[in-house]
Structure 1
């Protein structure tokens, strides 16, 4: 098959040719954003799920939907080493400059920019990575106490007032939110709570690994009432079929039922793996219709590609002790597993492994579905660990 015409799009956050199975959630969040624009109660949302389920793609599509309807948006990715104020400040500045172009919102936007100037100036002492252009002098007493939780509330109030004056809403999209430190996460939750109390049109739509739900609850006990936490998982069977067949049909290519069933089986319905196997199968096939022999040939290169890219990049971030912990988990299967069972597999006491487990959670490698349980955040990682660290070596 012509590689130039390959319709599939495996990649980190790369939009697939067919975003199947997510329409209901997109509609739910469209309604929430429109309610916010009207000043009605509207819950913010946190999209939670494992790696490879398409959270980033979905976040970006919801943002595109919002912008198409005239709602102002900002988009942030939260890496492990940057502070939340440093990420927010430049994006809020851009949003406020756009809002200031609306005559009815000009004065409110300028006051919000003054608040942002005070916010950045005072907090730079604590968060020295804040870099933001200053368009107006700070207004004394406005978002300039030097306390993140207090100042972020004041800043969000001014931003929400500007959006309201413009007759729109501001939607803040944050990916990888699980990496935000708990103190900063608490300040963000408090600021959103304040804008909701005042019926100001500011909505947060975040995405993160499954532990995000628990981290937000720990940061502020009322977080579960303030946010919805839709779980993003593998696609239902029919949606997974559509994600494969529609791009193929658009290229005038058919696929046999056994071949389709095999891709659905090996990918387990995870969107990234569907795109990955679809692309490798396209390249392995000689002509339409694609058959199961094409899928079997493609699986060799598909697995190798996952090992060297999707899986290996995460594996290489781990220390030898962390890798051994992950291999012990893999020996027990896909999981989740009790911490005691992992300790038994390693012939070590549970208490001695607690620092390793905590470090892996912070790196986003594992999470705790329930107290004392441990699971991989990356689908099929147990199979990868068995391939990369053979059974005779890991002990």
Structure 2
């Protein structure tokens, strides 16, 4: 098959050729965004799911939908080691500058820019990584108390007032929210709660690993009433079949049903894995229709490619003790696993492994579906750990 015509797109957040199985959620969020624009009650949303489920792709597609309808959007990622004020401030400045070009919203937007100057100037002492241009002098007493929770509320209010005057909405799209510290999450939740109370057209669409729901609840007890939490998991069977078959058909080729069955079995229906297997299967096939034998040949390359990129980049972030903990989990299977069973693999007490477990949760490698349970945040990571740390030496 012509590699130039390969329709699949494995990558970090790379849009797939066929975004299958997400139409209902896209429509639900479109309704929320439009209700926000009209000043009607609408819940913000947090997309939660494992790595490789397609959260980032979906977040970006929903943002594109919003932009196409005339809603102003901000898009940020919350990496480890960066503060929430630092990643939000430049994007809020851009949104306010755009709104300031509209006559109806100009005065409100300018006041928002003054609020941003006070916000960033005062909080710079606490969050040294804030870097944002100032277009206007700060207004004394506006978002400049130096308290993040109070000042972010005041800043979001000004953004909401400008959007309301422009008869539009501002939608914040924030990826990897699980890396935001609890106190900063609390400030974000409080700011969104305030805009909702004032019926201002500001909405938040976030995405993160499964532990995000618990983190938000810990930050503010009312978070679960403020947000919806759609679970972004493996695609349903019919949608997973479409994700493989339709891109191939769009190139004038075909794939045998048995070949599709095998890809679904190997990938468990996760969006990123479907793209990886689809791409390698296309390259392994000599001609159309693509066969089961083509899938089997491609699987060796697909696994090797994922080991060197998708899996390895996460493995390399871990300390030797953390790697042993993950290997012990893999010894028990896909999971979830009880903390006591993991400790038994080491021949030690649960309490002695608690710091390691906590560090892995902070790094986004594992999460706790229930009290005392531990699970991988990356599908099929157990098999990778057994490949990269074979035998019994890891126990020593």
Give the shorter-chain TM-score range.
over 0.9
Deviations, residues 283-318 of structure 1 (Å, cap 9, x unaligned): 000000000110000001111111111000000000
Say whether residues 1:118 and 2:118 are aligned partners. Answer: yes
Structure 1: which 4+ aligned runs deviate by more than 6 Å?
none
CA distance in 2, matches of 1:24, 1:103: 37
Report SS of the residue matched to 2:248.
Answer: helix
CA distance in 1, matches of 2:33, 2:221: 24
CA distance in 1, matches of 2:246, 2:296: 21
Report SS of the residue matched to 1:96.
Answer: helix
CA distance in 2, matches of 1:111, 1:135: 11
Look up the match of 1:242: 242
CA distance in 1, matches of 2:96, 2:123: 19
Look up the match of 1:19: 19
Q: How does 1:196-275 map to 2 (within 5 A)?
A: 196-275=196-275
Say whether residues 1:306 and 2:330 are aligned partners. Answer: no
Q: CA deviation at 1:391?
A: 2.5
Q: CA deviation at 1:345?
A: 1.1
Deviations, residues 114-148 of structure 1 (Å, cap 9, x unaligned): 00000000000100110101000001000000000
Deviations, residues 44-66 of structure 1 (Å, cap 9, x unaligned): 00000000000000000000000
Report SS of the residue matched to 1:144.
Answer: coil
Look up the match of 1:317: 317
Look up the match of 1:293: 293
Say whether residues 1:327 and 2:334 are aligned partners. Answer: no
Report SS of the residue matched to 1:394.
Answer: helix
Look up the match of 1:33: 33
Report SS of the residue matched to 1:75.
Answer: strand
CA distance in 2, matches of 1:393, 1:17: 43
Instruction: Provide the TM-score with structure 1 as the length reference.
Output: 1.00
Say whether residues 1:103 and 2:103 are aligned partners. Answer: yes
CA distance in 1, matches of 2:239, 2:259: 16
Look up the match of 2:70: 70
Q: CA deviation at 1:35?
A: 0.4
Count of aligned residue pairs for this structure pair: 395
CA distance in 1, matches of 2:343, 2:304: 30
CA distance in 2, matches of 1:25, 1:236: 14
Q: CA deviation at 1:346?
A: 1.1
Q: CA deviation at 1:394?
A: 1.8
Where structure 2 has 5 or more consecutive residues not aligned to the other structure, the ranges are none
CA distance in 2, matches of 1:384, 1:279: 20
CA distance in 2, matches of 1:317, 1:140: 44
CA distance in 2, matches of 1:81, 1:349: 31
Deviations, residues 223-246 of structure 1 (Å, cap 9, x unaligned): 000000000000000000000111
Look up the match of 2:377: 377
Report SS of the residue matched to 1:265.
Answer: helix
CA distance in 2, matches of 1:153, 1:205: 17
